[in-house]
Structure formats: structure tokens, C-alpha cells
Amino acid sequence: MDQRELETHIRAGKGISTEFKRCGNQPEMDFFETVCSFANRQGGNIFLGVEDDGTVLGVSRNAALGIKRNIANVLNNPKVFRPAPLVEPEDVECDGKLVIRVWVPMGPAVYSYKGVIYDRLADVDAKITGVDQISLLYLRKQNTFSERRIYRYVGMEDLRPDLLTRMRQMALARKPDHPWGSLGDEAMLRSAKLYAKDRSTGEEGFTLAAVLLLGNDDVIGDVCPAYKTDAVCRLADTDRYDDRLVVRTNLIEAYDLLSEFAKKHLPDKFVLDRNVRKSARDIIVRELVSNLLIHREYLSPFPAKLVIDSDGIQTENASRALYEGRITLSDFNPMPKNPTIADVFANIGRAEELGSGMRNLDKFSRLYSGRVATLEDGDVFRACVPVARTVAGTGQDAVLELAISIIERDGSLTTSELAKAGDVSVRTGQRWVRSLLESGRLKASAGDAKRYVLVGGGSDTQAT
């Protein structure tokens, strides 16, 4: 590292992987706490001889060798560190002053310093004492996917045959020549890697992914007792909730339940994408719910949440991430959390290729509300899509555009449907319909006087 790189780190300031420390003749105890936290998280740089505010004080050149020896001795003392983390010290010259850069790579184990486990949270070295927190730390360190955990005593009788049939039908609907169409149930489960063999132990059986996707509610509760998704709508009653849904069932039906809940409480806005009219709401809900179910650490006790409020729609779920912070398209490197579950969802048309979800959220959030979606990864993955809860403008052109989108979708509309889509009162919806009737844009349907169609739209039930 040269001076220019050092100055770049100093300008960026302290963070999840950067720390500044003053240093006399030897490092202080908080230096080793940071080494422990960096090794337990994603690694990082510790700059000895730099103040918290970025002022470069430097370290004594006469003491530099002793400082490095002290670091090596403390790290390799089994009474202090368990196990010993690796570090790489490096001298960096900065305007005639010596700074020691200590690079701490992320380690494969869970490290403790003086019997305490430290984790890096933002720019703080936090003591980890709770069982749940320590369990999450061990999960993060595993190089295996928890969805592949095998349950020897789960049998075919614990899986729902109707879901097996539905999974096959959904795959065939998406791709008529899908190989699952010619396979029996057990062969299909092996093909989908829901029945697997651990090549290191020889153990084989149904996996956690199979239980979550196809299991009955009792076996899901036995295998994964902490699993649930809490969906809440807080619009009128912000202290409690207007509506709530707790989902503990299989992932295939959970997708349906959560999607219906979200669509019920979000305004439906149609947008043009390459001259094709699409429901921005439906696409956003699809991506958020799929992400909530696919990219989730199911062994974590942290309950997943879907919240709809005045700010928009937000989701939270336990994650097993190496990176912590805001995700942007420019530096986004998608990593699968549950590749087996993701592959099944892709086969049945509930998800696309890895990384497409973020691109869709970014694109359709802008079209939906004019604002960007925000996604943050860490021990908890958070996503938020802003919602414009009213029609863009109250002029007749805006109302007509909304009415056309509903009629193109459903063939006709009612006053209440228009009011719901515009997120306004029924009284306002009645005023909108009356205005469109008086201007000759709408007319009553011949088959149902309470439904309306476009004037000059062909038949009374289908707009063209």
C-alpha cells in the first residue's frame, strides 16, 4: 500500500472493515479486540498511528519492530487468542510519518480474545454473548448450505403429495418438455436435489429444503420451529396494525399467501416497459416475496417480516452474508444463500436467474414511485421499495390513465376498483367515474350497469 491508497482509506473513514488506532510502544487492548472482530466478520485494515478523526500521528520508527513482535506474540498465545488469527503487517510512509497497516483476513473459525467473542458491527467491536448471536456467527462461518442438512427420519409420508403434483405441473406450465414431467415423485425429488447424500459421511435422506418446500406443517414445525414470516399492514392504525398474516406453511403456498397479502394493500400502478404495459406492483411483490423466501437463513431464530406502511413495502430476513452494507448495482455480486430452493423456484416460474431480482426492483421501483429501492445485506437482509400511494396528479388525464390500465387488465371496472387502485376513498372514486362519464370517456357496461368500459372500446366488456 502506498500513501495515496492510505489517504483514500482515511478519507472514507472508519467502518465495517477499516479502523484507526493510536499506538505508543505497543498496541493497546482495543487493537486486539478489533483483530478478533475483523477475523470473525469480513476482514479489514487496522491503521496504527492514525487518530479516529483521520489525523496521521505515525508511530515511532524505533518502536515499529517491537510493535510487530508484540502483535505476533499476543496472537499466538493460546491463553489470549483461540484460535490464532492470521494478520499481515505492512509499513506505509505518509508525509514523513510511519503508519503500520495491519491487514486481517476473514478467518474460517470463530475467534475469541481473552475468552470473549467479538464481531464487527458498523465501526464498533461488539462483544457477542447471546446464544442466538453466537449461533449466527457459526452459521456464517460454515462453508456448507444449511438447506442441504439431511433429516434421516423424514419420509415420503411427511411430504404433501398435492404439492409434489403442483410442483411438477408448474414446471411443465413454464416449460412443456420439462424433465420432471416424465419422472416419478422420488426421481423428481432426487433430480431437484431435495433428496441428497452427504458424500463425507454417507448419510442420505430428505433435506431441509425438501421439508420447507413440500413438507406438511407439522414436520416443518418439528424441523424448523423458529420458521415463520410475519406480514403486517400499518396504514390507518400505525400503533398496531390494520391487517396481519403469520405464515408458517410450506414455501410454495407461503409465496401465494404473502403475495396476495401485499397486493391487497398496495396500489396497482401499470407502467410502460419497452412499450408493453406491466403491473409494477406485481413485479415488485414477486421479487420481494421470492427474495424473502429464497435468500434466507432458516436455522436462524430471527423471524422474517413483510411490512407495508406509509413509507412503502419493506422486508427483513436472517441472512448469512460475508458483506455488510448498502447494495448497489455497480458493486453487486450475487451470492446464493439457498441454491437448491432457488433452483426449484426458478423451475416453477417463481424466480429468474440470480441477480435479476435486484435489477427488477431497481427498475420498477423508479417506474412505480419515482424513487429507488434500497437493499442492505448483513446478518439481516433488508429491502425497502417506496410506494406512491396516490394517483400521480388529480387531473382527468391521470385518472383516465388509471381507468384504462384497470380495463385493459379486467375488461371493465367498478367505482370501488378505481378508488382502490388510486388509493382514495370510494366517494372520490365516485367523483372520478362521474367525471369520466360526463366527458364521454366511460360508459356503463351493457351486461352490468355497475361496471364501466371505455367508450369506443369495442364490446361492452373488453377494451381494445
Q: What is the pLDDT of residues 415-436, one digit of tens each?
A: 998 888 777 778 888 888 988 8
CATH number for the domain that contains residue 440: 1.10.10.10
> Is the confidence at residue 40, as pLDDT, over 70?
yes
Q: 312 and 433 in one domain?
A: no
pLDDT, residue 165, reads: 96
205 C-beta neighbours (distance < 10 Å), count: 16
Which of 147-161, 291-305, 359-373 ranks highest by mean pLDDT? 147-161
Whether residue 447 is contained in a domain is answered as: yes
Does the pLDDT of residue 214 top 80, yes or no? yes
Domain range for residue 303? Answer: 231-250+266-333+352-386
User: d(Cα 295, Cα 297) in Å, to the nearest integer?
Assistant: 7
**Position 298 in a domain:** yes
Q: Are residues 314 and 407 in the same domain?
A: no
Task: Please identify, among 129, 145, 166, the residue that sits at the C-terminal boundary of a domain.
Answer: 129
How many structural domains does the chain have?
3
Cell numbers standing for residue 41 = 466478520
| Same domain, yes or no: 376 and 406 | no
The answer, as to whether pTM is greater than 0.85, is no
The helix/strand count (H/E) of the chain reads as 15, 22
| Short-list 398, 396, 437, CA closest to 415 | 437
Residues 380 and 414 occupy one common structural domain: no
Q: Are residues 237 and 271 in the same domain?
A: yes
In a domain, 391, yes or no: no
Q: Note whether 180 and 168 are within 8 A (CB).
A: yes
CATH of the domain at 374: 3.30.565
Q: 8 and 94 share a domain?
A: yes
Chosen domain end from 362, 386, 410: 386
| CA separation for the pair 375, 373 (Å, rounded) | 7
Determine how many CB atoms are found less than 10 A away from the CB of residue 80. Answer: 16
pLDDT of residue 104: 95
Judged against a pLDDT cut of 50, whether residue 45 lies above it is answered with yes
Are 411 and 305 members of one domain?
no
206 Cβ partners below 8 Å, 6+ apart?
A: 150, 151, 154, 155, 158, 159, 189, 194, 195
pLDDT greater than 80 at residue 139? no
Same-domain pairing of 16 and 102: yes
341 part of a folded domain: no
**For residue 322, what pLDDT band results from cuts at 50, 70 and 90?**
low
**How many residues are there in the chain?**
464
Q: Is 429 a member of any domain?
A: yes
Q: Are 409 and 377 members of one domain?
A: no
Residue 395 has pLDDT above 70, yes or no: no
Do 327 and 418 lie in a common domain?
A: no
379 and 246 within one domain: yes
Among 85, 106, 129, the domain boundary falls at 129
Model pLDDT for residues 270-292, shown as the tens digit of each residue: 777 777 788 889 999 999 999 99
**Structural domain contains residue 78:** yes
Same domain assignment for residues 314 and 413 = no
Q: Is residue 173 part of a domain?
A: no
357 versus 450: which is more confidently predicted? 450
- Residue 356 falls within a domain, yes or no? yes
